Structure 1
Amino acid sequence: MEIKYVAGVDIAKSDFKVSLVLGFSDREPKVLGSRKFKNTEKGFDELVSWAAKKCKLDLPLSFVMEATGNYHEKLAWYLNLNSHRVSVVLANRAKSYMKSIGHKTKNDKMDAKGLAFMGAFQHLKEWEPMSKGLYQLRERTRLLEDLLKVETSLKNRMEHAKHTMIIVEDAQQCLQEAIDAIETQISKCREQIKEVVQKDSELARKTEFLTSIKGIGPITAATIIAETNGFLLFENLRQLTSYAGYDVQENQSGQKEGRTSISKKGNSHIRRILHMAALNVVKHEKGAFKALQERIYKKTNIKMKGYVAVQSKLLRIMYTLWHNEQPYDNQYHRNCARTVEGDPSQLIVEQKVA
């Protein structure tokens, strides 16, 4: 019988709730206590001291937390650097587990307890921190995304200013100066992203596998790599699809058959960058991507559904290329791609991942 201590951590921006249990492999864990701490280094020190006092037996202690944006990262880094075992689980996986054990109440204390139970019963993968290069890459790709949003907003405002009944020239001049400044920052940010990738020879080498897909540029590849920590969070394609919010939600009951759509409950940065990528690959490539888009458009009469399916397929293929360390073969993927029966938006790439 395996016995271990597990601390479930439900973390937010300013604080986090912890539930500590003594876990057994053959029966329900025993709750030893729960407490709230500040999400600061002082709070981290207090957590470790509190857990040490509670754990009186000479047994391993592990910490389990959700991947909540970047709020969990400081604590995960702190525990990892201090030689504590940490597991970071995807939010959708934690949610599914809570449902499976019958947790109906939703609050910080119950979420922390559920995570502790999950760690007690399951053998969770130990968390691996992002490299410094990937952290820099993620910060810069997210900065670029924000700069592009500001640029779009300013250009829309300029277009409006040009068509008002009374033209205010100094207002237009101010807008143009702001647009010029933001475009300079966008160009600078793009170059910095490329520099971060090129400084890491292994990262640069594997990025080339992703950009071997015609229509996938270095910025798109860098964003996907940064947002997935080099795909380290995922054990299979299904987890990746769900993490990005491409998992399909059905709306059907009895005779009623509503509209099927993706959940969008996932990483929005991935979906945003793949939106334009999907348009590019359909435009530039005459094989599997274009065929998929046209097939789903013909079936649903909704163009965007076809492009969303292409986005999902792109993400899956990028995962496969990254792990298999090989460039994209259009002919191979066209022959080996199929859709899940009854659901054309869920495309599976039948390629074994090493």
Structure 2
Amino acid sequence: MAVKYSLGIDMSKQNFKVCFLSKDLDGHCKVKGSKGFENSLAGFTRFKEWYEQRQREKLPCSFVLEATGNYHEQLAWFLFREGQTVHVVLANRAKNYLKSLGLKSKNDHIDAKGLAQMGADQQLSVWQPLSENLYVLRSMTRYHEDLCKVLVQFKNQSKQLTYSMYPLREVAEGLQVALEAIEKQLQEIEQQIGLLIEKDEALRKKVAYMTSVKGVGLMTAAVVVAETNGFSLVHNGKQLTSYAGYDVRENQSGQRRGTTSISKKGNSHIRRIIHMAALNVVRYKVGNFSNLQQRVYERSGYKMKGYVAVQSKLLRLLYTLWKTEQCFEPRRSEKNTKGLINETKSQERDMNRS
């Protein structure tokens, strides 16, 4: 007799593959069906009709999707509105789970079945959609990031032209026009982000706590808040570290000790913006961040390892300020966030290994 249903959904841009599992009292799973659907509203409707035909008993049911850019969001929102229990797992977690099953091949059907197995065996966090303001904020911050990347690219091309063999006046003028247009768009989107935060009183207060750290600007706070859905995706500092890709990956076996590094299997948007903020807090000698950077640098011999340790600790500090609704005060913070600091010590030791 089945005790639970689980549906694994492997998403792509055009379509998605589904595997429907049932789990019995002995813990055995049985495939009740698998099928592909279009990644569109019409496909969602046909998918609903398909899985309802197989839900012959009113049993707990989990819908497990892998986070694939934005391709999974419309289906997740559709299922959420239907009152279903939705779980969205990070790609690295899904990959590691599939490896643990001993699967050697990879295709859409295998991935969907693995996700369904994960939903049947594990207690996954229930997905909650972004609020409208945070969804808009995330779209704005990602657009801002894309503009910054293009701006840097065009600036590099413009500099290269100064060393070219032949004068390329038309290209140089075109690049100058493009640079001015991009810089204007950046100013406009930054103003829009500021207005959006200002209109939301609760968000404005929370962001003010985060920006009370000298070196953490409005854009840094906006990106961190938008990418974590107001930190609703994490419940402690360790989860936040993993979500952002700052969890430490060791490389050693027996007497051999390889280089230790962070996994980078997480949200790259957070790491990018925190990198710039970490440079600022070290330069301004905020709290003990400068000492932390220097200490790790002296032990490891790698300056960037020191900055990575600062990035991880700074991100956790912002999480603490958001949760406790307190402004940053160096002396008081060092005392009140003792637990947070102790939590980072083990990671700091790992970052020093090489």
TM-score normalised according to structure 2 size: 0.91
Aligned to 2:141: 141
Aligned to 1:53: 53
Aligned to 2:205: 205
Taking a change above 3 Å as real, the CA distance of residues 304 and 211 of structure 1, as seen in their structure-2 partners, is: same
Aligned to 1:350: none
Deviation at 1:25, TM superposition (A): 5.5
Q: Does 1:267 align with 2:267?
A: yes
Q: What one-letter code is carried by the residue in structure 1 that aligns with 2:277?
A: A
Aligned to 1:130: 130
Deviation at 1:191, TM superposition (A): 0.6
**Of 239-248 and 219-228, the range deviating more from structure 2:** 239-248
Check whether the contact 1:92–1:242 (CA below 8 A) recurs between aligned residues.
Answer: no
Matches within 5 A, 1:94-243: 94-243=94-243
Taking a change above 3 Å as real, the CA distance of residues 298 and 7 of structure 1, as seen in their structure-2 partners, is: same
Taking a change above 3 Å as real, the CA distance of residues 157 and 23 of structure 1, as seen in their structure-2 partners, is: same
Check whether the contact 1:278–1:311 (CA below 8 A) recurs between aligned residues.
Answer: yes
**Of 106-115 and 308-317, the range deviating more from structure 2:** 106-115
Q: What one-letter code is carried by the residue in structure 2 that aligns with 1:136?
A: V
Residue identity (%) = 51
Structure 1 portions without partners, runs of 5+: 347-354
1:25-78 Cα distance to aligned partner (Å, 9 max, x none): 541222211111111111111111111111212323331112222111010011
Aligned to 2:351: 345
Secondary structure at the aligned position of 1:345 is classed as: helix
Aligned to 1:305: 305
Deviation at 1:282, TM superposition (A): 0.5
Secondary structure at the aligned position of 1:86 is classed as: strand
Cα separation, 2, equivalents of 1:286 and 1:235: 26
1:253-273 Cα distance to aligned partner (Å, 9 max, x none): 222211111111221111111
Aligned to 1:22: 22
Check whether the contact 1:133–1:196 (CA below 8 A) recurs between aligned residues.
Answer: yes
Taking a change above 3 Å as real, the CA distance of residues 190 and 39 of structure 1, as seen in their structure-2 partners, is: same
Cα separation, 2, equivalents of 1:110 and 1:42: 24
Deviation at 1:108, TM superposition (A): 2.1
Matches within 5 A, 1:262-341: 262-334=262-334, 336=338, 337-338=341-342, 339-340=345-346
Q: Does 1:92 align with 2:92?
A: yes
**Of 184-193 and 86-95, the range deviating more from structure 2:** 86-95
TM-score normalised according to structure 1 size: 0.91
Deviation at 1:11, TM superposition (A): 1.2
Aligned to 1:352: none
Check whether the contact 1:23–1:117 (CA below 8 A) recurs between aligned residues.
Answer: no
Secondary structure at the aligned position of 1:83 is classed as: coil
Q: Does 1:37 align with 2:37?
A: yes
1:74-121 Cα distance to aligned partner (Å, 9 max, x none): 100111112222122233333343344444443322222222222223
1:123-174 Cα distance to aligned partner (Å, 9 max, x none): 3332111011111111111111111111111111221222334433343222
Aligned pairs, how many? 346
C-alpha root-mean-square deviation of aligned residues, in Å? 2.1
Structure 2 portions without partners, runs of 5+: none
Cα separation, 1, equivalents of 2:250 and 2:185: 42
Check whether the contact 2:260–2:350 (CA below 8 A) recurs between aligned residues.
Answer: no
Check whether the contact 1:24–1:121 (CA below 8 A) recurs between aligned residues.
Answer: no
**Of 298-307 and 52-61, the range deviating more from structure 2:** 52-61
Aligned to 2:256: 256
Taking a change above 3 Å as real, the CA distance of residues 332 and 94 of structure 1, as seen in their structure-2 partners, is: farther
1:200-245 Cα distance to aligned partner (Å, 9 max, x none): 1111111111111111001010011111111112233222212211
Check whether the contact 1:24–1:120 (CA below 8 A) recurs between aligned residues.
Answer: no
Q: What one-letter code is carried by the residue in structure 2 that aligns with 1:145?
A: E
Cα separation, 2, equivalents of 1:235 and 1:97: 21
